[in-house]
């Protein structure tokens, strides 16, 4: 269960997706049409000749585990910064000694949160389904590696994620570099993957990388539901099983229909 620790920052423009350089402001990105992928169920015809999904990249906090939003207010209080200031950017801007102390302060908060971590409902069924359809899985998070390892070892033992991009990788989301690095390791294009997350950082990083984006909706991210960078919204991870099984173009189905499709797909795997 390795974690990626690059020795240097990735290039500003990835060779695997040169049409979406990360230095273009989000406001200047060209509009894109609704994203589509072929059904992962081989028995369902690909009537629209949609491309095949190759991999899925996951955020961690609020995505693979339930949100712990209290962490961020505690971090900002410890660093004495307002909500408008990005936590990691602030830490990286400090002199080395201060930066190390600040990083340790937020790690301490994350360690406390780690022991209160609750996995998202549907976590293992989704991962089992993706494995059954030979879909690659990676992680791109702003967390440090401790909570990520804790989540994997305690709630997803034996489930492979590679690469695993954590805080040591710079620049962090919303920069697309982490997602593009994962795509490079997989030898796929950004347009052949999905980024699943719960924040604007996730949606923006996915958009810049050329990936389709899936928002896991919760009680604090409602403003992202209709955002132009959000391609699909789910209320739970298992909903994604039904969507991918029938084809990513089926994003407008109701939650009930998605759940039925998910249960059918999961029952097929277990049977």
Confirm whether 77 is domain-assigned: yes
141 and 110 part of one domain: no
Assign 269 a pLDDT band (cuts: 50, 70, 90).
low
Give yes or no: residues 78 and 187 share one domain: no
More confident residue, 47 or 164: 164
Give the C-alpha distances (Å, rounded to integers) separating 224 from 3, 175, 235, 259. Answer: 29, 18, 13, 22
| Residue 193 domain flag | yes
Identify whether residues 187 and 96 lie together within a single domain: no
By percentage, how much of the chain surpasses pLDDT 90?
A: 75
CATH classification at residue 184: 3.40.50.1000
- Percent of the chain with pLDDT strictly greater than 70: 79
Q: Average pLDDT, stretch 149-162?
A: 96
Q: Is the pTM of this model over 0.85?
A: no
The number of domains in the chain is 2
Which phi and psi angles does 159 have, rounded to 5°? Answer: -90, 125
**Is residue 210 a contact partner of residue 20, using CB atoms and an 8 Å limit?**
yes
On average, the pLDDT of the chain sits at 86
Its domain, for residue 220, covers: 36-66+119-249
Q: What would the pLDDT profile of 107-130 be if each residue is shown by its tens digit?
A: 999 999 999 999 999 999 999 999
The CATH code of the domain that includes 83 is 1.10.260
Residue 146 has pLDDT above 80, yes or no: yes
Is 167 in the same domain as 78?
no
Say whether pLDDT at 27 is over 70.
no
- Indicate if 82 and 174 belong to the same structural domain: no
In the prediction, which pLDDT does 145 show?
95
């Amino acid at each position: 269960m390795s974690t990626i620790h690059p020795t240097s920052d990735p290039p500003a423009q990835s060779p695997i997706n040169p049409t979406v350089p990360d230095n273009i402001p989000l406001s200047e990105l060209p509009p894109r049409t609704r994203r589509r992928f072929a059904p992962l169920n081989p028995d369902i015809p690909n009537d629209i000749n949609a491309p095949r999904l190759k991999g899925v990249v996951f955020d961690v906090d609020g995505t693979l585990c339930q949100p712990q939003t209290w962490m961020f207010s505690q971090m900002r209080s410890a660093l004495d910064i307002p909500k408008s200031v990005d936590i990691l950017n602030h830490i990286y801007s400090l002199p080395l000694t201060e930066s190390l102390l600040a990083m340790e302060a937020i790690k301490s908060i994350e360690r406390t949160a780690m022991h209160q971590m609750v996995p998202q409902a549907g976590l293992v069924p989704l991962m089992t389904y993706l494995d059954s359809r030979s879909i690659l899985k990676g992680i791109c998070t702003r967390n440090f590696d401790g909570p990520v390892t804790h989540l994997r070892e305690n709630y997803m033992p034996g489930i492979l994620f590679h690469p695993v991009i954590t805080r040591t990788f710079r620049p962090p989301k919303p920069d697309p570099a982490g997602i593009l690095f994962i795509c490079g390791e997989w030898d796929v294009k950004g347009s052949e993957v999905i980024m699943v997350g719960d924040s604007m950082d996730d949606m923006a990083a996915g958009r810049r990388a050329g990936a389709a984006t899936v928002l896991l909706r919760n009680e604090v991210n409602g403003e992202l539901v209709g955002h132009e960078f959000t391609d699909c919204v789910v209320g739970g991870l298992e909903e994604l099983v039904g969507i991918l099984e029938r084809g990513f173009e089926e994003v407008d189905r109701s939650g009930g229909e998605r759940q039925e499709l998910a249960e059918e797909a999961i029952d097929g795997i277990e049977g």
